[in-house]
Structure 1
Amino acid sequence: DRFYPSSKLCTSCGSIKKDLKLSDRIYKCSCGLNINRDYNASINLSRYKLAI
């Protein structure tokens, strides 16, 4: 799915951060998760691959 929100999806709570800019290198979620944006996306893509 080319529209899967891998960078905008929180790996901890599953919420989607709609206002994430490309210049934001750290993903900060309201649940308290602070993680590198690319690492967050890689975790989400791994989970997505296992789910399909």
Structure 2
Amino acid sequence: DRYFPSSKLCSSCGSIKKDLKLKDRIYKCSCGLNINRDYNASINLSRYELAI
């Protein structure tokens, strides 16, 4: 799915941060997760690949 929100999805709780900008390099979620945006996306993509 080319529209899978891998960068905007929290890899810890699963919430989607719709207002995330490309310039935001650290993903900060309301659940308390603070993680590099690219690392967060890679976790989400690996989980997505396993689910398919």
Q: So what's the TM-score if we normalise by structure 1?
A: 0.99
Per-residue Cα deviation, 1:8-35 (whole angstroms, up to 9, x for no partner): 0000000000000000000000000000
In 1, Cα distance between equivalents of 2:23 and 2:38:
12
- For structure 2, the residue ranges without an aligned partner over 5 or more in a row are none
Q: CA deviation at 1:7?
A: 0.1
State how many pairs are aligned: 52
SS in 1 for 2:8: coil
Q: CA RMSD in A?
A: 0.2
Q: CA deviation at 1:49?
A: 0.1
Runs in 1 of length 4+ with deviation above 4 angstroms? none
- For structure 1, the residue ranges without an aligned partner over 5 or more in a row are none
The residue aligned with 1:38 is: 38
SS in 1 for 2:19: coil
